Amino acid sequence: MEANIHANSLKKKHDNKEKIGKIVIFIVLLILAIFVLIPFFWMLSSSFKQNNEVFSVPIKWIPNEFHWDNYSKIWTTIPLATFMKNTIFLSVVITLIQLFTSSFAAYGFSKMHFKGRDLLFLAYIGTIAVPWQVYMVPQFIMMRKLGLTDKLISLVLMQSFTTFGVFLLKQYYSSIPDELCESARMDGLSEWGIYRKIILPLTKPALASLTIISFVTTWNDYMGPFIYLTSTENKTIQLGLKMFVSLYDAEYALIMAASVISILPVAIVFLSMQKYFVEGIATSGMKG
């Protein structure tokens, strides 16, 4: 009887320690989350202020007067709708192409056996170590000779392949048993059929992870559009934000309002695929 009471007492103490530990971890994560979100709160607050109130000290988190007209001015001050359209086009098209090319290449490197496969994969992955600045000028010269400068298609062509995407999906594909593919081949299914009917349905988390990474990277890209796009009708949202900066002054309130609008598509894409993203990162290369 006393032993049972002692055991129950120890169990309660252990449970209490676990609860306290979880509470402490929750509080620490909450504090860290608040620190991470402070710049976004400041940006949102500044988007409703006048220019002379944006950098006021101390910071006024809640404006004395909300200037809702900032969100209407940004559409007329610059052709923001055109910039959004161009950015959405590039982000969606490049993401879809990268998903296809990366998944197809990853399938070849992980599920098909051919001479020199591993050496070719290592050589391809090795290109990650090459900085973009090394081949930036030759790339621009090539696009200029093809007459593709100041055209959105130039960015689409240059970003159609992603080494990181191939590496990410290859690691995930390698975790799928080869027996599934061998059984499908014995049943007469083609390589395209195996890729489409077996591999892709099993790798939704990895594909969602690559979708988010590719979309966010393309959406936030500044240097690529800055180098290749010169005409106003072809610029992206990242270049458009700079147009709020004049020779003598910068309209910071409008910049903040446009920045809030610019992050909404990224937030929507991430939140809609957050579940698959977390699962893909957690399980990539770890399944048996």
> For the chain, what is the largest distance between any 2 Cα atoms, rounded to a whole number of angstroms?
89
Q: Give a three-class secondary structure readout of 56-104.
A: CCCCCCCCCCCCCCHHHHHHHHCCHHHHHHHHHHHHHHHHHHHHHHHHH
- How far apart CA 4 and CA 279 sit, in angstroms, is 41
Of the candidates 261, 228, 229, 223, the residue with the CA atom closest to the CA atom of residue 244 = 261
pTM as predicted = 0.82
In the chain, where the domains are located: 2-46, 71-283
Percentage of residues of the chain with pLDDT beyond 70: 90
pLDDT less than 70: residues of the chain:
1-15, 247-248, 277-288
Instruction: Match domain 71-283 to its CATH number in 1.10.357.10, 3.30.470.10, 3.30.540.10, 1.10.3720.10.
Output: 1.10.3720.10
Task: Evaluate whether 214 touches 93 at the Cβ level (below 8 Å).
Answer: no
pLDDT for 101-153, tens place per residue?
Answer: 999 899 888 888 888 888 989 888 888 888 888 888 888 899 889 888 889 99
**Burial of residue 50, with CB atoms counted within 10 A of its CB: 0-12 exposed, 13-18 middle, 19 or more buried:** middle
Task: Evaluate whether 219 touches 263 at the Cβ level (below 8 Å).
Answer: no
